[in-house]
């Protein structure tokens, strides 16, 4: 048991609050919680706290505040920016929400679901579906990511184009503040203008202002009809033109509109077992378009065929595969969803989760790709993502012959290269993954002056002792 960290005092006190199942201290038990999904960071912690109720969270936080112990809230630990990973410092605990995973209430009249922060997204989707409704948030990590983490990062994902980010799917929150106080804000109201909208402060705060313990989520009518296609398109501009065609034909029908490059698709084919391309090989640009409607007989298949036919005539679509079954639809989605895993298996990569106005997406991809290859000859740009939201993962794969460490040593140059273009296009250096630990040094340049000062003032007011997720978000 290392030195400074594990004085019996606080550990015994945590044990009294949480019971024997509520705390882990053995090195081997802590291991999976100390490093992030990307393998960028590894920290240390005196314990993993696993509270089972809001009262237990509050008691643990109060104790931490008294003892000057810092707290790293953790959900599914799928952060792309090292947000949920402890630093290599003493006197820290990781507070996992995993045991707080109940659905407290589901109301299909009001179309709301009140759930605890540790509920895994896929489970939330399933519960909503079991009640004949839809919880629309959807992303590749949905089998692990938890509601508290998704709200704390204001996660986006594949359906933002239709339903908005996690923020738009939340009506009320229960939050434990850094002094242990509890905001009981689980209101199910569509309208509630009663002073500062505190609930929105905790969404996207990445655990730096408090711990989300439960949330009221919005539900939607279940999809009764879907139509999905993978299209090969000749250029980034053609991809955007296709998006505009669908929007013009029926904006409300577009559930997702995702861009992928030929290089990215190649990485998926090479690294993901069972991945097969349902269109001819050799194309450089792809689009996944997914339509859905909450009523039967909406004619989505016709709509899909008509728009694609017109786009083919205009030379904006070169080939297309339309899903004929749920299995084919899932197989098409898999090609998109496996991009992060395929990149991970293919070697070292640097991620740029950036956004620009939707109309600038083609320019972003073209210019960034050209500049990145100039910066690191032999590297392979892998742009993919949520084109309909202007959010592209402008990632770069290492040159095959370059040692991974040499490539990763250039990570900041690579990010700066993309960010310079993003800035010119009026975009953001973090579209949906957040700032975490990875991008704190960008905050001064992008959000400096009054904006950053206001954030720091909020942090100081709510967390004067600085115990909530230090080293994240703010420089």
Task: Extract the tokens encoding 10.
Answer: 């606080």
d(CA 244, CA 242): 5
3-state secondary structure of 361: helix
Task: Give the nearest distance from C-beta 330 to ligand 2HG in angstroms.
Answer: 16
Task: Extract the tokens encoding 448.
Answer: 């400096």
Task: Extract the tokens encoding 297.
Answer: 């007989």
Interacting residue with ligand FAD among 52, 84, 173, 442 (CB under 6 A): 84
- Give, for 304, the enclosing helix (H) or strand (E): helix 300-313
* 354: contact with ligand FAD by CB under 6 A: no
Tell me whether residue 236 or residue 432 sits nearer to ligand 2HG (CB atom). 432
Interacting residue with ligand FAD among 58, 70, 77, 360 (CB under 6 A): 77
Tell me whether residue 393 or residue 439 sits nearer to ligand 2HG (CB atom). 393
Task: Give the nearest distance from C-beta 141 to ligand 2HG in angstroms.
Answer: 8
Interacting residue with ligand FAD among 469, 470, 471, 474 (CB under 6 A): 469
Task: Give the nearest distance from C-beta 430 to ligand 2HG in angstroms.
Answer: 11
DSSP-derived letter for residue 321 is E
Task: Give the nearest distance from C-beta 422 to ligand 2HG in angstroms.
Answer: 15
State the residues that interact with ligand 2HG by CB under 6 A. Answer: 140, 339-340, 351, 353, 385, 393, 395
Tell me whether residue 133 or residue 391 sits nearer to Zn ion (CB atom). 391
Tell me whether residue 78 or residue 419 sits nearer to ligand FAD (CB atom). 78
Tell me whether residue 245 or residue 339 sits nearer to ligand FAD (CB atom). 339
Task: Give the nearest distance from C-beta 404 to ligand 2HG in angstroms.
Answer: 17
How many chain residues bind ligand FAD (CB under 6 A)? 38
Tell me whether residue 96 or residue 159 sits nearer to Zn ion (CB atom). 159
Closest CA to 213 of 94, 17, 73, 111: 73
Tell me whether residue 164 or residue 180 sits nearer to ligand 2HG (CB atom). 164
> Cα 211 to the chain's mean position, in Å?
18
* 216: contact with ligand FAD by CB under 6 A: no
d(CA 25, CA 39): 22
Task: Extract the tokens encoding 402.
Answer: 């370059």
On whether the CB atoms of residues 391 and 431 are closer than 8 A, the answer is yes
Closest CA to 267 of 321, 331, 344: 344
Stretch that binds Zn ion, among 117-125, 266-274, 377-385, 438-446 (CB under 5 A): 377-385
Q: Are strands 70-74 and 92-96 parallel, antiparallel or unpaired?
A: parallel
Cα-based distances in Å from 253 to 21, 162, 193, 256, 301: 47, 8, 31, 9, 11
d(CA 436, CA 149): 12
Closest CA to 114 of 58, 174, 160, 154: 174
Tell me whether residue 207 or residue 385 sits nearer to Zn ion (CB atom). 385
Kindly identify the residues of this chain, within the stretch 365-424, that bind ligand FAD according to CB under 6 A.
Answer: none
Beta-carbon-side half-sphere exposure of residue 247 (alpha carbons within 13 Å): 13
Tell me whether residue 393 or residue 447 sits nearer to Zn ion (CB atom). 393
* 117: contact with ligand FAD by CB under 6 A: yes
> Cα 130 to the chain's mean position, in Å?
25
Task: Extract the tokens encoding 150.
Answer: 């998704």
Instruction: Count each helix (H run) and each strand (E run) in the chain, helices first.
Output: 17, 19
Residue 439 binding partner per list ligand FAD, Zn ion, ligand 2HG, none, with a CB distance cut-off of 5 to 8 Å that depends on partner kind: none
Task: Extract the tokens encoding 468.
Answer: 């909530």
Stretch that binds ligand FAD, among 75-83, 122-130, 263-271, 411-419 (CB under 6 A): 75-83
Residues sharing a CB contact under 8 Å with residue 222, sequence separation 6 or more, in sequence order: 128, 129, 132, 133, 134, 294
d(CA 415, CA 190): 39
**Residue of this chain nearest to ligand FAD (CB atom):** 149
Tell me whether residue 243 or residue 245 sits nearer to ligand FAD (CB atom). 243
Interacting residue with ligand FAD among 76, 172, 204, 427 (CB under 6 A): 76
Task: Give the nearest distance from C-beta 332 to ligand 2HG in angstroms.
Answer: 15
Kindly identify the residues of this chain, within the stretch 144-203, that bind ligand FAD according to CB under 6 A.
Answer: 144-146, 148-150, 152-153, 155-157
Question: Which residues of the shown chain bind Zn ion in the complex (CB under 5 A)?
Answer: 385
By the criterion CB under 6 A, which residues form the site for ligand FAD?
37, 72-80, 83-84, 97, 117, 139-141, 144-146, 148-150, 152-153, 155-157, 206-207, 211-212, 340, 432-433, 436, 469, 472
């Amino acid at each position: 048991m290392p030195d400074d960290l594990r004085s019996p005092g606080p550990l015994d006190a945590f044990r009294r609050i949480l019971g024997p199942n509520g705390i882990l201290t053995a090195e081997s038990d802590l291991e999976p919680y100390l490093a992030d999904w990307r393998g960028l960071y590894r920290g240390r912690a005196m314990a993993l706290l696993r509270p089972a109720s809001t009262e237990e969270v509050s008691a643990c936080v109060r104790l931490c505040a008294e003892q000057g112990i810092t707290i790293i809230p953790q959900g599914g630990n799928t952060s792309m920016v090292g947000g949920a990973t402890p630093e290599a410092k003493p006197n820290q605990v990781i507070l996992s929400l995993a045991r707080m995973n109940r659905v407290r209430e589901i109301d299909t009249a009001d179309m709301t679901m009140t759930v605890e922060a540790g509920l895994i997204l896929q489970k939330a989707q399933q519960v909503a579906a079991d009640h004949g409704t839809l919880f629309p948030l959807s992303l590749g990590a949905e089998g692990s990511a938890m509601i508290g983490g998704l709200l704390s990062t204001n996660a986006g994902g594949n359906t933002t184009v239709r339903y908005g980010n996690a923020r738009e799917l939340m009506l009320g929150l229960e939050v434990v503040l850094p002094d242990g106080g509890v905001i009981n804000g689980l209101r199910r109201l569509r309208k509630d203008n009663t002073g500062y909208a505190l609930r929105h402060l905790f969404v996207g705060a990445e655990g730096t202002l408090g711990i989300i313990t439960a949330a009221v989520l919005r539900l939607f009518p279940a999809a009764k009809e879907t139509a999905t296609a993978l299209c090969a398109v000749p250029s980034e501009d053609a991809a955007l033109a296709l998006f505009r065609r669908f929007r013009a034909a029926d904006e409300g029908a577009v559930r997702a509109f995702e861009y992928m490059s030929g290089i990215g698709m190649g990485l998926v084919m090479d690294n993901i077992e069972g991945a097969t391309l349902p269109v001819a090989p050799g194309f450089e640009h792809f689009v996944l378009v997914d339509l859905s409607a909450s009523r039967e007989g909406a004619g989505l298949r016709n709509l899909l065929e008509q728009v694609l036919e017109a786009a083919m005539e205009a030379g904006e679509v070169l080939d297309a595969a339309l899903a004929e079954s749920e299995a084919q639809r899932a197989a098409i989605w898999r090609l998109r969803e496996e991009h992060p895993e395929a990149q991970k298996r293919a070697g070292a990569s640097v991620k740029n989760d950036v956004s620009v106005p939707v109309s600038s997406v083609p320019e972003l991809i073209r210019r960034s790709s050209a500049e990145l290859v100039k910066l690191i000859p032999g590297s392979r740009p892998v742009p993919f993502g949520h084109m309909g939201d202007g959010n592209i993962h402008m990632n770069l794969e290492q040159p095959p012959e370059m040692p991974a460490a040499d490539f990763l040593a250039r990570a900041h140059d690579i990010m700066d290269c993309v960010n310079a273009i993003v800035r010119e296009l009026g975009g953001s250096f973090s579209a949906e993954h957040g700032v975490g630990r990875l991008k704190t040094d960008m905050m001064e340049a992008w959000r400096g002056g009054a904006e950053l000062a206001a954030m720091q003032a909020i942090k100081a007011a709510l967390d004067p002792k600085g115990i909530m997720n230090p080293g994240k978000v703010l420089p």
